[in-house]
Every structure is written in C-alpha cells, then in structure tokens.
Structure 1
C-alpha cells in the first residue's frame, strides 16, 4: 500500500513547483514608478487603462516610489506616460509649473516580464523612472538710445546671465534676451558695464518674480533699457 502513495505525492510536489514558477497560471508583474522632484500637484501617469496620481511629497522634491493598482500579465505591452502626454499650463497631466519626463532605461515602455534594454531576461517588476523639472520662461526686452554699433552695454541678471549688446546705426531700438528664468525665481536686471560716452538705466520691468502672470505670457518680454549720451 505504501508504494501506491508515492506517485500521487510526486504529482502533488510537481504541481507546487510548477505553480511557483508560473506554470499554474499567468505571471503578473507590478508596475513600479520612481518619480523625482515633484514640487507641485497635477501629475497623472497612465498605462493599460490605469491611472496613477502622483502626490506632492511631504518634503517637496523628494523621490517617491509608487505602484499602479494592478500588475500586468507576462507579455503585456505597457507604456507609462503622463495622461494626455504633454505639459499643460497650471495643471492637466503634468504638475503645475513643471514638466516630467522618463529617465531612460529602464524606460517607460516595453513588455511585461522582459528587460527594457535587452528584451530578453525576465525581471520581477516593471521599473519606470520619471524626473520633473521646473519650467523656465524668457526674460527679454529692448535697448534704446545707442545709435551706433561701435558702442555696447553689458547687462546682468545677478549671477545667472550676462549679455553684451551693441547699438545699431540703422535702428535705435535693439532687442536683447537673457537666460530663461525658472518659475518662482526672482530676477533683477542691472547695467554691469556702461557704454563709452553713454549712461544706460533699466527703466522698466527689470525686476520681479517669474509667477503666474508672467508664465501665462510666456515670460517677461518687455524689459526696457534706456541710454542717453553724456553731456
């Protein structure tokens, strides 16, 4: 009798092994997302009909590890992207005032159960990395009163940007542009080097903070610098 029990025991043991290796059903892979530098609300990621709202961490900017509610069966194609796919001013699928992009490999798309780089070796989870950056906006304007290309003025925005602009013999109004300024950042344009024989001053819109009003206009584009010839 005891010999008749050996075969059922072996079958049961084999079933347990097969089940642990996935032979007893489909393997499911969790969708793990690591998101860095979220500072404002609004980011929603989506894949395979699921949405994942990314909160602002207790300490804004900290890295978060999150999971979609449901895993994906082996062999399922996935594509983790912001809902809608593009940055939206003041909300939408991207955080307000930010843009979040995939960090590369492991990338945001692929096949469940296969590596993102080789599409061969099986991995225990789908890993996606997103990093968010603050949006920056233009800081520009015009210089008047320098009617000669032989004279130039150097402007600076603190330690962030310095530009030297020559006058124009054909047009007394000369455009200039400084480096873009991130949302929420103060700016202050001053004259660093005066042109020979002239005195230039920043006459309007040279200081401020890049906030909602400037963001909606695509930045500050009306800084005025006025130069007068020394007597």
Structure 2
C-alpha cells in the first residue's frame, strides 16, 4: 500500500482505538485562505475566533473539537476593502478524517462611468486597461464594462472615434484610484471633427 493510503487508515484506527478505551478523538478545525491582501478578517467556529493577518494562507482554531461535534466556520468580519467567503466550513467531526475549509477573499470592485455630451453618431469606443465599451449614439451616460478593484488605478480614454466627431475625456475626470464606491464623474465631450 502507498503511504497516502496508510495515513487515513491509521487515523481511523486511532479513532476506533480511543473510542474502545472510552476516550474521544479530537480534531483541529483548520483551513486554507486565498487572496487575503488586507488585515481585519475574523473567522469564527461558535465562540472560538481566529484573526488571520494579511498574506496568511492557513488558519487553525485554538479549540479542538471532539468526535461527533458539529462545526460551522463563518466570516464574522471581512477585511478592509475585501469580501471573503467560506466553502467546506460546516459538518460533524469524524465525518471526514480532517476538517479543512477554504476561505476565499477578493478585493471589493466598483464600476467606472460618467456622462457624454454631443454624441450624435454610433462608433464611440472607450477603453480602460483591456476593457472596452461601445457607446451608442445619443447616449448621455455610460458605464465601462468590467469592475475595477479597490485601490487599483483606472484610466478612461477614447479607443475609437465616431465618424465625423472628435471625442475627448475631460482632463482630470478619467483617471484615478478606485475607492469604496462606483465612479460616476468621468466626462466625455464629442464635437464635430
């Protein structure tokens, strides 16, 4: 048998042996974390809490739980500017040989948009990074495709001019660093070319 097959068998035999002697097996409640870029995350399993720091990739609660005890790992506080979720975080100890949840975190993201004046024909395409947005004629407002993560720079510019017009992004309105809300202040003006 391979060593990987022996470990679960050994854990099962240990559990059965402890149960036969009147003792109870106990389990660590732990897991892995992906994408934790900011401080402030609080995870809970009942009254037991853990506060993983930014950059942490794993966690283990201080209290072990006995065989047959239910566990439910939850996010009680998200980190600053992020949203985290838990998968595989609930069950009953002993149902699996290990208790290991996955906590996935991602930066909050928001839209970038604004107003347009003078767009009388089709063909205007705006760009932000690799995301393009085609704006229909007579539009007075736009929202770029794709959200921008908190703390990330954005820069809206004209990618394709509409026929017969010259459209420009008003200086100072099309660039910035994403905060904690949608940006709606970009201004695009189109004039006969």
TM-score normalised by L of structure 2: 0.84
Equivalent position SS for 1:34: strand
Deviation at 1:19, TM superposition (A): 8.5
Deviation at 1:158, TM superposition (A): 2.3
* Aligned: 1:35 with 2:19: no
Please name the residue that 1:8 is paired with.
none
Deviation at 1:143, TM superposition (A): 1.0
Q: Which of 135, 149, 153 is equivalent to 1:165?
A: 135
Number of residue pairs matched by the alignment = 177
* Aligned: 1:207 with 2:175: yes
Please name the residue that 2:110 is paired with.
137
Please name the residue that 2:6 is paired with.
none
Unpaired segments of 5 or more residues in structure 2? 1-13
C-alpha distance in structure 2 between counterparts of 1:99 and 1:30, whole Å: 25
C-alpha distance in structure 1 between counterparts of 2:125 and 2:162, whole Å: 8
C-alpha distance in structure 1 between counterparts of 2:39 and 2:95, whole Å: 32
Q: Which of 89, 105, 109 is equivalent to 1:108?
A: 89
Please name the residue that 1:154 is paired with.
125
Q: Report the aligned-residue RMSD.
A: 1.9
Unpaired segments of 5 or more residues in structure 1? 1-16, 58-62, 84-92, 116-122
Checking the alignment, whether the CA contact within 8 Å between 1:19 and 1:25 is kept in structure 2 is: no
Evaluate the alpha carbon distance shift between residue 32 and residue 145 of structure 1 in structure 2; reply closer, same or farther with a 3 A threshold: same
TM-score normalised by L of structure 1: 0.71
Greater strand fraction, Structure 1 or Structure 2: 2
Please name the residue that 2:187 is paired with.
224
Evaluate the alpha carbon distance shift between residue 79 and residue 19 of structure 1 in structure 2; reply closer, same or farther with a 3 A threshold: closer
Residue deviations 1:196-216, cap 9 Å, x none?
111111015100111xxx31x
Equivalent position SS for 2:19: coil
Deviation at 1:51, TM superposition (A): 0.6
* Structure 1 runs (4+) greater than 3 angstroms displaced: 17-20
Please name the residue that 1:176 is paired with.
142
C-alpha distance in structure 2 between counterparts of 1:177 and 1:209, whole Å: 16
Q: Give matches, 1:1-150, under 5 Å.
A: 20-23=17-20, 24-57=22-55, 64-83=57-76, 93-102=77-86, 104=87, 107-115=88-96, 123=97, 125-146=98-119, 148=120, 150=121
Deviation at 1:21, TM superposition (A): 2.7
Residue deviations 1:45-97, cap 9 Å, x none?
0012111111123xxxxx522210111111111110111xxxxxxxxx11111
Q: Which structure has the greater CA radius of gyration?
A: 1
